[in-house]
Structure 1
Amino acid sequence: MNIPKVEDIKIASKILSAILNDTPLIYSYAFSGLFSGNIHIKLESFQKTGSFKIRGLYYKLSKLTKEEKKRGISIAYHKNLAKSISYTSNILNIPNTIIVPESLHSDTDTIKYIERHGSKIIFHGITYRDTVEYAKKIADKNNLIYINPINDPDIIAGYGTIGLEILKEEKSLDTIIVPVKYGMLISGIGIAIKEILPQIDIIGVINEDNHSITENLPPLVRAYIDEIISVEERDIYKAIKLLLEDTKILVEEKGAMPLAALLSGKIKTQNKSIGLIATGGNMALNRLSEILKNTDLKNHKKGL
């Protein structure tokens, strides 16, 4: 895996600043009181398309040559990824084909969004792996550029711009907490932060069922991470409800994991200045309703 340098992230920042939002870094009085520290939240849910994904994908696609853009791209579906690819391709006038699992015909909001932005949709397969293999096949057959969103240095550089934005506003943080799925987001943020202010701790958060993620992180990535902790789903749901009730901010499950890490009690918060990365806010209303209905906050409201 090739990883970018902080200079690459700074280049990405200049390009992205012309088209994307510098998302807010807010100070939460409610959570600062609850955890006896200074809690800041980076709201990537306020980014265009509702998640951080567009940072990496816009930067990646902007670097394609004119000939490559004319040929077009193919990519496998993931909800936030698909929205970002569709939005970006529309801006850059790149024909794009998104391979969607057959089971996701019902994801009508996202499907309508990507159709509205001009993407070609092909329903194929059952699993994400099925869609990846078919996206590669379609690319080979039609001379398209297959976009692999995992372990791409340009995409990591785009994600790293979040770290630069945080440092522009708040250099006194002790810790930044980042959700981890494939490791690209925390890689980019870790590089940006550690190369400038290495004393800031970078902590990754995974779902308790996904311990295999940590085993698959390359050594070059782990060098920028101080710790990885796991959280239970119940704490993730509590975090979603707390954020909505007390800050009026909606985040999806992955975006709530940094707050869930604080609720778990695994991170020292007293007199600490902590940044939480709320990665996105694209949640279906029926899923949100289910979480709100079945989540009890009575043990977590005393400090609010």
Structure 2
Amino acid sequence: MANKQDVEYDEYCDPDNPRKIHYDDILAASRRIAGTVVKTPCTKAHISDTLGMEIYLKQEFMQYTGCFKERGVRNTLLLLTEEQKKIGVITASTGNHGLSMSYHTTQMGIPCIVVMPTRAPITKLTKCQSYGAKTLLHGENMAEAKHYAMGLAKEKKLYYVNGYDHPNVIEGQGTIGIEIIEQVPDLDAVIVPVGGGSILTGIAVAVKHLKPDTQIYGIQTEKAYSMVEALKRGERVKINIEATIADGLAVNLAGVNTFYNLKNAGILDKMVIVKEDWVARAIMHLVENERYVVEGAAAVTIAALMAGLFPNLKGKKVVCILSGGNIDTTILARALERGMAAEGRLVKFKVTVSDRPGGMADMCAMLANTGVTLRDCIPERAWVKGDVFSVEMKVIVETRGWEHTKELVEIVKKRYKDCYFPEMSEHPDKVPGAKRGPCLAPNPVCMQK
């Protein structure tokens, strides 16, 4: 039984009294927030033919703060009493929820404090401050920041807004589901990223009410899978979160209300776990093919399709939620390079060439004639075995893809006897270890190939 005297006790997220989410409340939220958040586009993806299904992308990164979180925040703030609006609100966040709280409280003239861990991205911190909220840095991680924020809430009588489990937040996120049915009325499935579970719960309640035969799937990564673990064990359990490219999904304990609804309401068909490498590839493909820049948490939906985790959806009409676009430029650059490497378009190798005049030039000419782009080339002389007239070159080149890479390997091996290429796999999806979550459908669809 929850201790109501505990600093972290939240009456809206009480394990002893979980709240059931109703469609009527989501519909009311939709009308309430109309005009204050963006009704985002849901357009057909260019990669539909490549993946063998009709894919539509719900572009929540088009919100002013770059994330779907605005919906739940605005709905919650509108439902506050006048007295509470004067006293103010507080939350703990590492990014998107804090940005939404900062922006909308400023718009509504409500005092707001956002508590962030000391290691929170500096870009997110400065953005929160620019939107007008008071920011406090406390703790090494989200758990410590939340504990401190809830202590302040009780001390100053501030209203604490849980970014992924407050009932009004979940209802606000559910408005995405209503829009999806309006935009793609004959859809077959919706694929949703899952952190704490608010967006999945809200969308599932709305879509299953409006079109019950629609399949609803939740996606997490191999490094942040608290909801998968909770549904598998039948109870909320804390997991250790490793560094993940999908940092927006890094919630170590599933929400009270989200878990309750997903477990008991019959609204979720399956949870699926996707590998991090596929997320990097998905970010790259969304940039190249759709011209969309999204964060890792948003790209997991496309990543799961690219990884072949939904063979049952071939030929079907599928909506993927692109939940946000707040990706750090450094992470974006790394993701693009990881994605290119995974698809054989970025290749590194070592080759020993003559260190006499013209030796390196000959190698560069050979690469140019092969049609590759030289990215980097570092000579190493001190540790080369053999004669002193040789130099080992560490080379990174860009190719057009696997066929071009194979051509390069053959040419280099034919020209130079001493060369080394790291082991490369054209089909990384065949590597064992792909995980899938528990099937929750009343009449499950076989997910096996």
Instruction: Compute the TM-score of the two structures, normalised by the length of structure 2.
Output: 0.64
Aligned 8 A contact 1:2 1:151 in 2: no
Aligned mate of 2:168, from 149, 154, 157: 154
Matched, 1:285 2:326: no
Gaps of 5+ in 1: none
Match runs of 1:181-220 below 5 Å: 181-214=195-228, 215=230, 216=236, 218-220=259-261
Answer yes or no: is the 8 Å Cα contact 1:204–1:229 preserved in 2: yes
Cα offset for 1:292? 1.0
Give, in whole Å, the separation in 2 of the partners of 1:23 and 1:39. Answer: 16
| Residue 299 of structure 1, CA deviation | 6.9
Deviations 1:219-270 (A, max 9, x none): 5313210011110000000000000011100110010011011011110232
> What does the per-residue CA deviation read over 1:176-208, in whole Å, with 9 as the maximum and x for residues that have no partner?
000111111110000000011010000111112
How has the CA–CA distance of structure 1 residues 299 and 274 changed in structure 2, closer, same or farther, with 3 Å as cutoff?
A: farther
| Unaligned residue ranges in structure 2 (runs of 5+) | 1-17, 231-235, 237-257, 346-400, 403-449
What secondary structure does 2:292 align onto? coil
Within 2, Cα distance between the matches of 1:298 and 1:266? 18
Aligned to 2:63, which of 47, 61, 74?
Answer: 47
Aligned to 1:249: 292
Q: How does 1:1-304 map to 2 (within 5 A)?
A: 1-28=18-45, 30-104=46-120, 107-214=121-228, 215=230, 216=236, 218-222=259-263, 223-268=266-311, 269-296=313-340, 298=343
Deviations along 1:107-129, one digit per CA (max 9) or x if unpaired, are: 33222221122211111111111
CA distance in 1, matches of 2:226, 2:55: 29
Q: Distance in 2 between matches of 1:56 and 1:157?
A: 7
- Residue by residue over 1:206-225, the C-alpha shift from the partner in whole angstroms, topping out at 9 and shown as x without a partner, is 11233432213635313210
Superposition RMSD on alpha carbons, in Å? 1.7
Which shifted more, 3-12 or 276-285?
Answer: 3-12
Which letter maps to 2:20? I
CA contact (8 A) 2:116 2:137 kept: yes
Instruction: Name the SS for the 1:103 alignment partner.
Output: coil
Contact kept? 1:202, 1:226, Cα under 8 Å: yes
Deviation (angstroms), 1:167 = 0.6
Cα drift, residue 149 of structure 1: 2.4
CA contact (8 A) 1:3 1:156 kept: no
Given the superposition, is the C-alpha separation of residues 52 and 123 from structure 1 closer, same or farther in structure 2, using an over 3 Å criterion? Answer: same
Bigger RCO of structures 1 and 2 (CA < 8 A, at least 6 apart): 1
Deviation per residue, 1:45-97 (Å, 9 max, x gap): 11121000010011001110110010011111220011000001001111011
Q: Per-residue deviation at 1:139?
A: 1.5
Give 3-state SS (helix, strand or coil) of 1:49's partner.
Answer: coil
Q: Distance in 1 between matches of 2:209 and 2:109?
A: 35
Counterpart CA distance in 2 for 1:99 and 1:20 is 24
Which structure has the greater CA radius of gyration? 2
How many equivalent pairs are there?
Answer: 299
- 1:228 alignment partner, SS class: strand
Partner of 2:185, secondary structure, is coil
The SS at the match of 2:80 is coil
SS class of match (1:276): strand
Which segment drifts farther, 243-252 or 140-149?
Answer: 140-149
Q: Using the alignment, how far apart are the partners of 1:122 and 1:10 within structure 2?
A: 35
Determine helix, strand or coil for the equivalent of 1:40: strand
Indicate conservation of the 8 Å contact 1:20/1:47, yes or no: yes
One-letter amino acid matched to 1:226: D
Aligned mates of 2:221, 2:270 — CA distance in 1: 14
Percent identical pairs in the alignment equals 29
Aligned to 2:233: none
CA distance in 2, matches of 1:259, 1:154: 28
Q: Secondary structure at the match of 1:51?
A: coil
* Higher share of residues assigned helix: 1
TM-score between both structures, scaled by the size of structure 1 = 0.94
Paired letter, 2:334? E
1:2, 1:152 within 8 Å by CA — same for their partners in 2?
A: no
How far, CA to CA, are the matches of 1:146 and 1:212 in structure 2? 23
After the TM superposition, which segments of 4 or more aligned residues of structure 1 sit over 6 Å from their partners?
299-302
TM-superposed deviation, 1:151: 2.1
Conserved 8 A contact 2:58-2:319: yes
Work out whether residues 4 and 154 of structure 1, in 8 Å CA contact, stay in contact via their aligned partners in 2. Answer: no
